[in-house]
């Protein structure tokens, strides 16, 4: 009996790996195409910086969601789900697959945002480098800025996510529970 259970677990793990691999590939291609086409004809540097900060913020927020998924307690959501509270059943589903949710949020979305922010930073260096002669220094400063914002933002967000895991996951559950939007 345990062999069948282990075989199902191994099969489920392989399936998740394939889903994460393919999902990451197609999401990265899509996000890259979207951001590249959006900034291709933009030379308005403040707008490019805004797009860069948004991409970094998305990575930071999803990292926090992944950490919250691992730290949230299912007990209050069991009670809310029994009372048919909006988002509670969705939150329970997320928490029961917390390792997968954390992998998707922290690794897939976070890494894609990191790669895209690097590409946006390189685009900004090229644009700014036309006007300035120090592209090597500019490139290093841009890498430092992106790294500091990403790592610092994630450090702050992880602390918030650990302290407020249940609240964050309740919010995420409500957002994803589309059929109950509008219910309290």
Cα atoms in the Cβ-side hemisphere of radius 13 Å centred on 61:
9
SS3 84: coil
Give the pLDDT band of residue 184 (cuts 50, 70, 90): low
pLDDT on residue 3? 64
Distance CA 49, CA 52 (A): 5
Helices 110-131 + 2-40 axis angle, to 10 = 20
pLDDT on residue 9? 60
Residue pLDDT, tens place only, 118-157:
888 888 888 887 766 667 788 889 999 999 999 999 999 9
């Amino acid at each position: 009996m345990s062999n069948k259970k282990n075989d199902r677990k191994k099969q489920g793990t392989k399936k998740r790996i394939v889903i994460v691999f393919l999902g990451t590939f197609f999401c990265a291609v899509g996000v890259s195409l979207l951001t590249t086409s959006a900034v291709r004809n933009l030379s308005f540097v403040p707008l490019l910086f805004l797009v860069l900060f948004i991409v970094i913020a998305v990575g930071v927020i999803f990292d926090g969601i992944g950490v919250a998924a691992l730290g949230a307690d299912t007990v209050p959501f069991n009670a809310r789900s029994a009372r048919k509270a909006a988002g509670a059943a969705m939150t329970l589903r997320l928490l029961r697959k917390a390792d997968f949710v954390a992998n998707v949020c922290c690794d897939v979305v976070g890494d894609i945002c990191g790669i895209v922010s690097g590409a946006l930073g390189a685009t900004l260096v090229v644009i700014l480098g036309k006007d300035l002669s120090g592209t090597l220094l500019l490139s290093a400063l841009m890498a430092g800025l992106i790294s500091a914002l990403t790592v610092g933002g994630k450090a702050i967000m992880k602390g918030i996510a650990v302290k407020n895991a249940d609240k964050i996951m309740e919010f995420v559950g409500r957002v994803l529970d589309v059929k109950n939007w509008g219910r309290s």
